[in-house]
Amino acid sequence: MNSLMTRGSLFDDFFKDVAPGFFVKPLHGDPLPSASQIRIDVKETDKDFTVQADIPGVSKEDIHVSVEGSIVTLRAEIRQQDRQTEGEKVLRTERYYGEVSRSFQLPSDIDEANAKARYDNGVLCLTLPKKISSAPQRLTVE
């Protein structure tokens, strides 16, 4: 299950803690979330895997899930909403537009035809049934 572990950059964490306001930030506030910011929980039973992923602030139409063999890819489109009306001045906006994705590998292949996805209150819940593998057949040696 090492493929489920996330890795952060040691230097990113160092500079965030030591000098958070020292470096110039992007025009629209913070950068896009990184793949490690899609937090996931994976549980396994005899029949399936259950994945819960935190993807807040995204409409379900902008979430794309793909399964290929044992590899699951989560992708979300995040849209910035810049609106300014007459007489107001925008001091800071932290909304942006972009895409974030994350892929991970499960220990066995997934039955894509019976997989299900549900999105509720910022949490994506996947039910991924394991592909039933046929028993190995014994060959007759001639």
CATH number at residue 108: 2.60.40.790
Instruction: Report the distance separating Cα 94 and Cα 81, nearest Å.
Output: 9
**Nearest to residue 95, comparing CAs of 109, 107, 79, 84?**
79
Does the predicted TM-score (pTM) go above 0.75?
A: no
Band of pLDDT at residue 25, cut at 50, 70 and 90: very low
In a domain, 134, yes or no: no
Confidence of residue 35 (pLDDT cuts 50, 70, 90): low
Is residue 135 one of the residues assigned to a domain? no
Q: Assess if residue 35 is contained within a domain.
A: yes
**Residue 21 domain boundaries:** 2-82+92-129
Query: What is the distance in angstroms between the CA of the first residue and the CA of the last residue of the chain?
Result: 41
112 lies in some domain: yes
